[in-house]
Each structure stands twice: as C-alpha cells, then as structure tokens.
Chains A and B, each alone.
Chain A
Amino acid sequence: MMHADRKSRSTRLVAFALIAIALVGYFTGIQAPMPARHSSVPWSLEDGKAESESMPAGGEGVIPATAYAKMAEVTRRSRRRPEVSLASFRASLAVKSDPLAEIAITPADKQQSLDRRQRNRAFNGAPPTTPHPIDQRSDASCVACHVEGARAASFRIPRMSHRLLTNCAQCHVESNARHLPVTPFGENSFAGLAAPEQGPRAFSGAPPIIPHSTWMRSDCMSCHGYVGEFGIRTTHPWRTNCQQCHAPSAALDQTLLISAPKFLPGPKIIE
C-alpha cells in the first residue's frame, strides 16, 4: 500500500514537472509576438497597419527557433519576464477559479476592448487573424492552446468560439506574414460592418438580447468569459446558461425558416 502510494506520488510529481515545463514553454513562445496595447484605433483599414507595425520585426523564420549556442542568452532573457514564471501563472489560475469575484467594467474598458477586437478582423463576424506566427503546416499547436484559452497578467489566449474545427488556418491567417516582408498591394476601401456597442433592452434592467449572430460564436464564454477581452466580459460569470436570459435575434439567425410570426385569424366581427 505504502509502496503504491509513493509510486503514484512520484508519478504525479513527474507529471506536474512535465506540465509545468510544457506550460512555461508554451507561454514563453506565445509571449514574444503579442502586439503592444493601443488605447484606441479608428475603424478603418489603417487598423491592420497599426497592428502590423506594432508587431515585433521577426520577419525571418516562422516559429522562431533558438540555436543551442544562443540558448543561455535566451534563457536569461526569458527570466527577465516575471509574468511568465510558473508562480504568476498559477496565481492567475487562482483568479479564474473565483467566479464570484466582482467585475466592474467602465465604458472606457468596453471601448478599448471593442477597438482591440476590430484590429484583427475585417468586419464584425469576420474570422480574426492571428497576431502571432503559426505553424505553416500543422494545426496541432493551434488546438493545444485555443481549445481552452487562458489568461495571465499580461497576455490572453482566446478560446475557440465555435465547435471544434481543426483546419484552423483555413479561416485564421497570420495578420502579418513572418516569412516575407509585407509589401501592401494597393489600398482597399472596404469598410466593414462595425461591432454593435450593446444589445437592445426592452426596458431598463431587462437582459439585453444578443446583438450579433451566434453562428460561429456559439460559445458565449469564449469572448464574454474569463479568457475574453476584459471590456466585454459578463458581470455575472457564475451564470453559465447565457441564453436562458439573453435571447438570440431571429433577424440574425439563418436557421429560422419562418420570416415572420404567423397567427390564426382573429374572431370575425360581424357588422
């Protein structure tokens, strides 16, 4: 009995160490290419440029690999980032585990989040582009992080908002290619549909209806939950049956087969 316990404890220790190493590896890799924060950007094609320019210059190579000779230097560099230490990551996991923590969002927070969302999509409803390098051939690395998503002090990994689709780069391309310098080819005056600022309410205090289509956005918590942009988070994350109160809009739902409600004829009034 004792022997078995010790054995399982050591297995758990090894497993924990492996997971810890893997997590540090992931987030070290993801940390580097995240864009700098901007307070606000206009809704235009310039957004894309703004985002591109904010990207690190690593135009060569794809997933930046480290030569063994440079490993020591890179390790030193990564140690200078307190936010990717396991301790801080564990601390952030602890925050996640408290759904009752109070969330207060200011209009400025919301605007900032909406601005940031706009920066890597052509219109509200377009698949967001990826702000970091991707593996050019395999989707395994996308799935590894984006199925669950995560958040730490200085960065966030969005969660897939739709059912599991695994040919990721079919829709989500790099916002800025790493293998070649970007040479914009002409301009484009496409002005995308803006994200709604809020859903309409029947009266003050009524739950807002969902102001966007839920097609490809069926997991509400991917955007409105802990791993979403702060400014569009739900203020009541402990309630997870979202559509119990927030109705989707028929006007935005392609599956609805009836264009307008039909009724039986009313009582015939005889004059």
Chain B
Amino acid sequence: MGNGETPAIDVIQRRQFMKATAMAAATAVAGGPPYALPVLADEPADGAEGVEWNKAPCRFCGTGCHVQVGVQGGKVVAVAGDRNAEVNKGLLCVKGYHVGSALYGSDRLTKPLLRDGDGYREISWQEAIKTIADRVEAAPERFAFYGSGQWTIPEGYAAQKFMKGGLANNHIDPNARLCMASAVTGFLATYGVDEPAGCYDDLDACDVLIMWGNNPAEMHPVLFSRVVDRRSRGEQITLIDISTRRTRTTEACQHYLEMRGHGDLAIANGVAHLLIKNGTYDREFVESYCNFKVPDDANPNLHGKPISFDEYKKQLEPYTPEHVEELSGVPADQIRMLGDLFGNPDLKITSLWCMGMNQHTRGTAINTLVHGIHLLSGHFGTPGDAPTSLTGQPSACGTVREVGTLAHTLPGGRVVANEAHRQQTEEFWNLPAGRINATPGFHTVKMWESFCTPTDQGGEIGTIWVQVTNPGQTLPNLNKLFNPKGKRDAGLADKFLIVSDVYPTATTRLADLILPSAMWVEKNGIFGNSERRTQQWFKMVDPPGDARDDCWQTIAVAHELFERGLKGMADRDGRFLFEQKQDDQPVPIWEWEHYYDINVDEGLFEEYRQFTRMKHKDLAPYVEYVNTRGMRWPVVEKDGTWKETRLRFSEGYDPYVEEGRGVQFYHSPTDDDRAQIWFQPWVPPAEVPDEEYPFMLCTGRVLEHWHTGTMTRRIPQLNRAMPGGYLEMNEADAAAHDLENGDQVKIESRRGSLVMPIWIHGRGQPPEGTVFIPFFDETVLVNDLTLDAIDPFSKQPDYKKSAVRIKKVS
C-alpha cells in the first residue's frame, strides 16, 4: 500500500482529533508547539504522510523508555525510539518496538460483562456502575481495591482518595507488593525515605556494575545496552553477575558468581567482613554519615537496635570468605575479588537489583545489606557510585511508592498510623477531621487470603475491584489465594470479584463483573519510572468499543455513591470528592461524554503535587512535563526554570543538601542526617529441597513477554518468538531423569502441579538441583506451585525458592 492512497479525509479527521484531545490543552498552557518533535505539518515527506508522531513513555517495564508513537487514521501504525529521551536515547527493546500492536488484539474487551451462571451478559456502563455501587454501599468496610504499578499517577491517586478519603477504608493494595515492597523497606530502614539516590546516569560512569540476582539483558535491556555499548566504544567496565542461574546477562559478564538461594545475604556480609578486616572501608565516610544497626528480634520493626562499630565488627566476624562459600556456594576467591573491588576507592561501583533481592523472605534484610556495603566502602553519592534498585512496572515508583496506594500509606510518604499525616491529608482533601482510618488495611497476600476465606470463617473481604493487573496469574500459591473463588464448594458464593482490564485474563476468568478499559495512548497518563522520573503523555487514539479509562470508572462509582448520599463521597463543604471546575463551573466528569471536556489528569496531578513536598520529592506543575521526556524529582524551581535532581543527598546535586555538608541524609530515621548500616544474619530460605521435593524452583520473566503476557502474547512477533511456558533444567539432572529437550514433565510442589515441556541449554541454564519456569504463560500457571511465605517487614512473597519434584510424563 503506497502512502499516496491515504484518503485525504483521514488527514483531516486526524488533525481534528489531535486538536480536540491533546493540542488544545497543551498549547494553551505552554504557549507554543506542545511537542519537541518537529513535524512539518503542511508538507510532510512521502514516508510520513498522514502519520502524526507524538511522545509517550513505553507501556511496559519500569525502565521508562520514551517512544515516538506514529498515528494514522486514528490508529497506531508505528513506533520509534525517542532520540530526545535521556532514558533510552532512541533505542528500545523488542517489546517497546511492538507496543503499538498491544492495542489491537482481536479479543479486546469492549463491553461491560456481568456473570450469569457460567457465562456473561453484556450490560450497560450505567448498570455496571450501579452494580459496583450496590456492593460498596452494602458493606463499605468489606470492599477492597487491588491495583498495580501500571495505574497511572492520576488513576492511583483517584483510587487512593476514593478508598481512604471516601470510604475511610484502607483495604487498597497494589501488585507492586509482589514486586518491590522489599526495596521500599530497604530504603526506609537505611535512609528513612524511599527510592534510589542515584539514577541511570550512573550506568554511564561506573567502572564496575554488579547485578544482584538481576538479568537486565532480558528484563531491562535498554539499560543493559547502555552499559555494554560503552564496551563497544572501547571503555573498560567490569560486569559481575551474582545469580542462581546462567542467563544472557552472564554471557556478557567477566565474573559469574553462582550462588544458592539466600546466598546473597552471606555474600554481602562477606564483603563487609573483608572491608573491615582489610581496613579498606571508608572510615571518613562512615564516621561522618553513618550509624550501625541490628534487627530487634523482640520488637521487629524497621528501626532495629543501634549498635556500635565494634559490635557491628563482631557480628561480621564469622563471615570469612570460606564460611560465605559454605553458605552461598560462591568460591571464596570470588568473594575476595568482590571485597577487593569494594575496597578500591578509585573505582566507581554501581549495584543493580530487581526481583532476585526483592522476592525474598529476607528481602528487607538483603536490600539493607547491599546499601550497607556501598555506604561502608564509601561507594555512594558520586556519579557511578550507587546502589540502585530497578522496578518492573512503568509506574511502580510514581504511583505505588509516591502516591502511596498501599494498605498502610497516604500520598507523599505519609502513613495512616501517623496522626499528623492523617490530618495533613484531610486538610489537602478538605475532609472533616478524623475521616481517615488509622488502622492499616490488608496487604496483598492477606487481602486475597481473606477474600478466599468464607465469610462465616472470618473472611472479611467480600468484594475486590481489580484494576490494571492480573492477580489470577501473579499471586503466589494460587490454589490458596485465588483459585478457591472458582470452586463451587468453597463457600465463597457471596464474594464478588470486579475486574477492569483490556483483555480476558486468568483473573477475568473468575470475575463476576468485567469492565473494559482503555489502555496506554487511548487515554491521558503520567508514569513515574525507576530513576524518579515523572513522565506524561496525551491520549492519541480512541479506545475500542465501550472501553473507558480506569480513572473515569473510579470517579463514576464515587459519584454514584455521592448521589446516593454516601457521606464519605463529599468533602467537608458537601462538594463531590472529585469535583473539577472549568471557568468556576463544575464539569460533570463522571459522565463519559464529558470526561475529556477538561484534562482530568492535570486536575488530579496538581492536587496530588501538594503532597510531594514533605519528603522532598517535589514535582513540577503538569505543564512542565508536557514539554519534556520526564524529569527526576525533586524538581525545584530556580530562577524561573524547573530543575531536576540527578543524585539525592549529595551536595552540588541535591538542592536540599545544606552547603558544606557533602552528603546529608536529611530524612534519616535517627534524625541525625546519617544513614543506617545494618548487620543482618544469613538465614536459610523458607523452603529448601529435601528428599521428597529435591529441586529448587525459581520463577521469572523473559525478554519477549511483559509479566503475565496479557499484552505481549497478543503481539505476533513476540508470541512467535516465545510461544509458551517451559521448564529449564540442567543437562546433568535431565540425563539423570532420562529427559530430553521437548519432553513433557510433571512438576509438583506441596501446593500444586503442572505439566510442561522441558528446555535444556535454553534461554537460561540453571545449575544442578535447580529448575526455572517463566511466569508469562497463562495456560501453565507456575504460581500454582509457588510458596506464599512473605518477608516479615515488606510482606512481599518469595517466588524464587520453592521445592519441587519432577517426573517424566510418558
């Protein structure tokens, strides 16, 4: 098809559409062309005729690449890496290049569907909203909201306000609890405030990159390329992979430290031991900026017990390289090599981690330990010296961690248990004093356990509304936490599951009400990525059928309850909680046809922005994000321009560090501007292989599919490259079991069983005694096998260490 055939009418419609949706708002406020990408609108070159390009962050992972989205005739037709984006500098991964296709799977949900026996009836949106309002009204305290780090910032903020402000109910939690809760507790226990001090720029400056249980070659490929590309340019950089299996990342590394599960606790202690023993720790840094802590076993909390440097030293004494080898399986010489690197003040060392350290029953502990060895060695606070955790979802940081859509938090780093924080929140929301409930709600595992427990046996949660996530595939131990909902004899007939999504999923399978949602560039949005970068985009195409924005769905239900006189949906002046005005007149945004009369995102964002200053995570006004490829907070106005912050806590970078202080941890949990270096003992995993279940099962992701694959498995190029789930096994184990590539095997744990093919020498290569299964395939749900043991502080489950046995299926 030549471009000359593009009907002229398309061009006109497109222009009108763009003007209506995006341009008008942006041009009015910014006073110029809204996008930095130049488009010669009147005389496009042949190749670009009829294609309108616009910026958006990618829909998928937490890297937060910017893409250029090409729209023609009201449809996304192409995607390019955004050269003006600092995150990805014009490069994408295969998921990003095909993100446009994720909108066009033929089974998009387009109508609200209400369960009727074994099937579903198409219903109107009005009926759907009423159905939800009925469930909430009947028992507001038994209602729960389950979201994710894929909620945009305004969506998460609206859900948060609806629950904690409107219903005085704290049962709201995100799937990010399963993903990075331990990173949060690690940051809080160490610095007293969440999120990394460093950023992706460290990848350009580091001499050594250590990946702790992390496979960025597949999971954060754009960041990984940023490092290996430096090598192609002739730079020297040492890559170290600390992992439980060989992966693509391993192949690019000079050093591969193959450890057993929980070996990381021993390795980090071993490095600290060597730094002290060799006298190579950074004495000046430690004396100026650090305290020492141990866990308080009698009263477990994130503050622990203070100890002296000598006590700290004594705790580390047993962790000799040889002892660490026994605990972790990593040869003592490799521990010494790591100790020498950290002990060298001339090197710049960046640590990256993601699910390996977070999905860990000692996730908080290992997070604090890795921060600890960076602090102890002084590898902190200058470009290239940074302990940086990565996130898996596009707005795990922006929405979950910053807006605080967790059962115990309020926006801007506040917690429900703190009276002053509740009062501030009530003030910002103009609520009557005492509206917000002081008791934390149920965290994810507890929420679903309660939902899957019959009401008469104490299962308090009666209704869950799920938005932008797929717990039917991602919760651990599904046979306990999700699958009972589908069983007739489970005594759960009174429970009600509402799911807003874009495609049928493992979760909609058991839903009572399914709501069709708009996704990505079918709506306005704001994400916050792993490096504190807040990113905005405009709606570019219409959602299919009756699909509508998640944020609108929440506001529509809130308004229905407001109309019914539910007191919580009004502020202290009797006005609707989500009232937005234009020219002093309230706009009926709860009516879909008026939702885009104004920019609801902008209104919610400006309201939310007030919350961000207490913890010095200041955000700029909405319009500032329109013209940039995101900015890293704190974003502070200076001489009329808004400036982002590359490194937190470091003088010269962070505007909140006082002059002459060098490094200042201004949210220190000990109120003395110092960070905490923790000692945490090695402990074994919650479940270890035994005679009955002799293999350790690790789960994870693959390059081609994003998490549960609901979007990427609808994209032919990705689905064909990685069509289904498999079991990775070591060649020696396979030979011992008389297994060959492609053989069907039955994998059993104490919680469930699966049948799938085996892949030897495949994408990854687990060592003997361990196996690996990716979790993207909804037809072989690996979480039927996984354990639901959680970290005591973060309440995050461990998906990486479950004992299983394997049999050949003949």
Contact = CB atoms under 8 A, between A and B. Distances in A.
B326 interface: no
Q: Which of A123, A129, A190, A209 has the most CB of B within 10 A?
A: A190
A126 B763 contact: no
Interface residues of A, number: 72
B105 interface: yes
B423 interface: no
Contacts of A193: 51, 70, 72, 77-78
B523 interface: no
Contacts of B252: 139, 167
A186 B107 contact: yes
Nearest to B80: A125
B77 A171 contact: no
Contact of A167 (B33, B84, B228): B228
Interface string A176-193: 110111111111111111
A247 to B, nearest CB: 10
B374 to A, nearest CB: 26
Given A173-B722, A187-B106, A249 B78 contact: no
A255 B83 contact: yes
Interface in B621-662: none
Interface stretch (B148-156, B242-250, B287-295, B395-403): B242-250
Contacts of A181: 723
Interface in B716-754: 716-724, 726, 741-742
Nearest to B721: A173
B720 A123 contact: no
B92 A215 contact: no
A173 B723 contact: no
A136 B762 contact: yes
B38 A257 contact: yes
A32 interface: no
Given A177-B720, A192-B77, A186 B51 contact: no
Contact of B101 (A122, A175, A194, A258): A122
A170 B251 CA distance: 14
Interface string B72-101: 100111111111100000111110011011
Contacts of A180: 723-724, 726, 757, 759
B40 A129 contact: no
Contacts of A259: 33, 38-40
A174 B721 contact: yes
Given A169-B248, A209-B45, A52 B720 contact: yes
A194 B248 CA distance: 33
Contacts of B46: 196, 198-200, 211
Contact of B714 (A126, A185, A212, A251): A185
B78 A179 contact: no
A252 B45 contact: yes
B352 to A, nearest CB: 15
A257 B33 CA distance: 12
Q: Which of B2, B79, B81, B723 has the most CB of A within 10 A?
A: B723
B78 A254 contact: no
Nearest to A167: B225
Interface stretch (B216-224, B300-308, B329-337, B604-612): B216-224
Interface string B206-230: 0000000000010001101100110
B38 A185 contact: no
B171 interface: no
Contact of B94 (A43, A172, A255): A172
Nearest to A192: B77
Given A60-B741, A165-B91, A171-B97, A185 B703 contact: no
A35 B704 CA distance: 22
A177 B742 CA distance: 13
B38 A258 contact: yes
A166 to B, nearest CB: 6
Contacts, number: 225
Q: Which of B33, B48, B103, B765 has the most CB of A within 10 A?
A: B48
Interface residues of B, number: 82
B720 A137 contact: no
A187 to B, nearest CB: 4
Given A48-B717, A184-B719, A166 B724 contact: no
Interface string B228-266: 110110000000000000111011100000000000000
Interface string A30-65: 000000000000010100100010000001111000
B8 interface: no
Q: Which of B44, B224, B722 has the most CB of A within 10 A?
A: B722
A22 interface: no
Contacts of A69: none
Contacts of B90: 215-216, 254
Q: Which of A45, A164, A176, A213 has the most CB of B within 10 A?
A: A213
A252 B225 contact: no
B592 interface: no
Contacts of A250: 38, 40, 45
A188 B45 contact: no
A199 to B, nearest CB: 7
A120 B323 CA distance: 53
Contact of A249 (B47, B68, B222, B765): B47
Nearest to A140: B251
Contacts of A166: 225, 228-229, 231-232
Interface in A188-227: 188-194, 196-200, 209, 211-213, 215-216
B721 A170 contact: no
A17 to B, nearest CB: 29
A256 interface: yes
Contacts of B77: 123, 191-193
A260 to B, nearest CB: 7
B221 A170 contact: yes
B82 to A, nearest CB: 7
Given A127-B94, A190-B100, A190-B103, A45 B716 contact: yes
A124 interface: yes
A166 B51 CA distance: 31
Contact of B2 (A121, A190, A194, A260): A194
B38 A256 contact: yes
Given A192-B78, A199-B46, A200-B46, A215 B83 contact: yes
A181 B228 CA distance: 32
Given A122-B98, A215-B80, A250-B40, A185 B48 contact: no
Contact of B78 (A123, A174, A253): A123
Given A165-B225, A213-B80, A215-B80, A127 B97 contact: yes
A176 B217 contact: no
A211 B723 contact: no
Contact of B97 (A126, A174, A187): A126
A10 interface: no
B98 to A, nearest CB: 6
Interface in B98-121: 98, 100-101, 103-107
B518 interface: no
A192 to B, nearest CB: 6
Contacts of A176: 720-721
Contacts of A122: 97-98, 101, 715-717
B658 to A, nearest CB: 37
B75 A186 contact: no
A138 interface: yes
A211 B3 CA distance: 11
Nearest to A185: B713
Contacts of A60: 741-742
Q: Lowest 9 A-B CB distances belong to which pairs?
A: A173-B721, A190-B101, A170-B221, A249-B45, A259-B38, A193-B78, A211-B47, A187-B106, A190-B104
Given A166-B228, A170-B93, A175-B721, 7 more contacts: A60-B742, A167-B221, A170-B222, A175-B720, A188-B104, A189-B106, A190-B101
15 contacts: A48-B720, A125-B78, A137-B246, A165-B229, A167-B224, A167-B228, A173-B704, A174-B721, A179-B759, A190-B104, A193-B72, A196-B47, A251-B45, A259-B38, A260-B38
